[in-house]
Amino acid sequence: MTAAVLILLGAVLLVVIVAFLLRRRFLLSGLGAVTMWFRPEGSPRWSVGVAWYGGDALLWYRALSLSVRPQQRFCRADFHVRERRSAGRNDLALPSDVVVLSCSTGEGPQELAMDTSTVTGFLSWVESAPPVS
């Protein structure tokens, strides 16, 4: 009986791991998909995830999740970058070579962090938003 339970638990664990890896591969395979860290301003905790930006929205998916829905959705028309800085002492969870963007959104102030190689393309997308009438 114990061996059967262990085999079943192992099979369930394997299915979860495979689902997690397939989800991550799918998320990173899209055009405009980048690894991005997110935290609401004032929160001490960064969360890593995959962001898709394109069209009129930025969709952010938590990396350590099996959900197929984005955890955050920001409308490009309401998205403005206020400040750009390097990761500092208060950003211990971030790699040292990322850029932190302080942003204002329709949901309030947020902070995003991404690799330096990603920032230029992302800022071009934000700045090329059609004018809001």
pLDDT above 90 for 98 = yes
pLDDT of residue 30: 67
Question: In angstroms, how far is CA 74 from the centroid of its own chain?
Answer: 11
DSSP states along 58-109: EEEEESS---SS-SEEEEGGG-EEEEEEE--TT-TTS-TTEEEEEEEETTEE
Which of 66-75, 84-93, 96-105, 120-129 shows the highest mean pLDDT?
A: 96-105
Q: How confident is the model at residue 130 (pLDDT cuts 50, 70, 90)?
A: confident
pLDDT, mean over the chain: 86
Model confidence over 10-57: pLDDT tens digits?
Answer: 999 998 888 878 777 777 776 668 889 999 877 889 999 999 888 889
| Domains located in the chain, CATH noted | 2-127 (2.30.29.30)
End-to-end CA distance of the chain: 68
Q: What local confidence, expressed as pLDDT, does residue 32 receive?
A: 67
Across the strands, what pairs with 102?
83, 111
Q: Between residues 54 and 104, which one has the greater pLDDT?
A: 104
Could you tell me which of 117, 126, 121, 114 has the C-alpha nearest to residue 46? 114
